[in-house]
Amino acid sequence: MFEDLKQIFEIPISGQDRKNVEKLILYIDQLSVKGGGQVPLKQLLAVAGLDAQEQVRIQKTRGDLILRSQKGTHEGLFINAGKKMREKIPNVPLFTPELVADKKVGGNFKVSKGRLDLTRIQGLMVFKSLGEDLFDLKYNVRQVILTPKAVTVL
């Protein structure tokens, strides 16, 4: 029962989308080496399995993901600001988690060997409804790991 406390959920990425995820990670890596930039949030939402209409709606609500890093490094800070948001996350078996974002979400990022780690995240939370809405479990998201095979939220 308690093994669930470490990993909130994992979304496997289908074979056809893996190349797009690799390109996204490479794009973020290139931006970090240049010293930062903006990543359209729609690209990250596509990885999470949201359809195009939802991606556009959330992009308008939250804006872009802004990266700041020292030139030549593969790590730095990220920030996303916009209106508060509460969204159901598709493609997760057994339960439907909801992602809740404050007006300002931020943390650290690091890119290494086809893997993107977002750590020390603040302002992001997941609610899990268990059973027939018997009770909700609330988790602060502290880390998100994106690889071409899966998105893991810890």
Over residues 8-18, mean pLDDT:
85
Q: What is the pLDDT of residues 76-135, one digit of tens each?
A: 999 999 999 998 888 777 677 888 999 999 999 999 989 999 999 999 999 887 666 566
Q: What is the pLDDT of residues 14-67, one digit of tens each?
A: 888 899 899 999 999 999 999 999 999 888 888 877 888 988 999 999 999 999
Q: What is the reported pTM? A: 0.86
Strand partners, 146: 116, 151
HEC string for 50-85 = CCHHHHHHHHHHHCCEEEEECCCCCEEEEEEECCCE
